[in-house]
Amino acid sequence: MLIRDILNETARNFTLAGIPSSRLDAEILLSHCLGCERLDFFKNPSLPVDEEMLASFQKLVDRRLAGEPVAYITGHKEFWSFTLEVSPDVLIPRPETELLVEEALSLCRETAAEISILDIGTGSGAIALALAYEMPFARLTATDISSKALAIAAKNAQNLHLDFRIEFLQGNLLEPVDDFFDIIVANPPYIAEAEYGKLPVGVKDYEPLEALLAGDDGLDFYRQIIAQAPGHLKSGGWLLVEIGATQGAKIFNIFQTSGKYRNISISNDYAGLPRVVKARREISG
């Protein structure tokens, strides 16, 4: 069978199964299987694929049809300007999370000096790695409750030659941390219990529960992080959190009623949805 025909047929089957990015998924899986770039398909659409290769490709297609996310099948996901290793032990980094990185970077551009940043619940390491990559003088600390997630994050740090600038700590939120930081970032779990069952199959049945679930109203982690962060922020330091699209007003309110922050603001993502809340610790003294 020819590459062109395989891609057309697979994309059609994915579309029939209700998979939205059908053509892209077909191309990513075939390039993974053949060990080539997606670009090669445009250059050589009429190259044949042998039976054996086709059989192993079909296995990947079947996994996708069953609902497994492409990134878990290939073991990779693009984030920021690099490729991260992922496994079912970590949340697949989302494009929306790049807004959190951008917001943190824009605060740091104000200061050229060495700065310290904490990423709570680092998962694959996506946020911490993007910040370390963009800020050669920053010192990063990244935590997670899951030691399996931290193993993936540490591997990604090594692959990107950023391991010597990031300290990884296992534990609950800010408990494993002693230091004070200029910036604390977090994309915590934010799915309310009642919402969990409504998530797409690829999320609900494949991504780690502890990366998603956040109590009755989905705000448990924000309450804790907003309460604990001032104890680890330098005077005037910033806390930035990614939020679920409907949670903006409530989280703004939690920041406000804590009385420990000023300059509280919400930023929208590229889809126009509220996605990041940032606030500055009251300057003491």
Q: Answer for the pair 19, 3: CB distance below 8 angstroms, yes or no.
A: no
Q: Does 225 bind ligand GLN (CB under 6 A)?
A: no
Of 156 and 187, the one with the shorter C-beta distance to ligand SAM is 187
Among ligand GLN, ligand SAM, none, partner that 146 touches (CB below 5 to 8 angstroms by kind): ligand SAM
**Measured distance CA(124)–CA(154) in Å, rounded:** 8
In this structure, the strands spanning 166-170 and 139-144 are: parallel
Q: How far is the CB of 68 from ligand GLN (least distance, A)?
A: 16
Report the SS3 class of residue 119: strand
Nearest residue to 166 via CA among 135, 134, 132: 132
- C-alpha 89/C-alpha 105 separation (Å) is 27
In order, the DSSP letters of 3-16 are HHHHHHHHHHHHHH
Q: Which is nearer to ligand SAM, 61 or 186 (CB)?
A: 186
Instruction: Tell me which of 107, 203, 227, 266 binds ligand GLN, using CB under 6 A.
Output: 203
* Minimum separation from the CB atom of position 191 to ligand GLN (A): 5
Whose CA is closest to 94, among 81, 80, 75? Answer: 80
For 118, other C-beta atoms within 10 Å of its C-beta total 28
Query: Toward ligand SAM, which CB reaches closer, 123 or 230?
Result: 123
Name every residue whose Cβ is closer than 8 Å to that of residue 179 and which is 6 or more positions away in sequence: 116, 118, 141, 232
145 vs 203, which CB is nearer to ligand GLN?
203
Binding segment toward ligand GLN, per CB under 6 A, in 11-19, 50-58, 164-172, 185-193: 185-193
For the bound state, the minimum distance from the C-beta of residue 209 to ligand GLN, rounded and expressed in Å, comes to 11
Amino acid at 262: R
Tokens read off for 16:
């029939």
Nearer CB in complex with ligand GLN: 156/187: 187
Give me the least distance between CB of 65 and ligand SAM, in Å please. Answer: 25
Q: Are 278 and 240 in contact (CB under 8 A)?
A: yes
Answer with the entry of ligand SAM, ligand GLN, none that 277 interacts with (C-beta below 5 to 8 A by kind).
none
Q: Which does 145 bind (CB under 5 to 8 A by kind): ligand GLN, ligand SAM, none?
A: ligand SAM
- Is 190 a residue that touches ligand GLN (CB under 6 A)? yes
The footprint of ligand GLN (CB under 6 A) covers: 94, 187, 189-191, 199, 203, 212
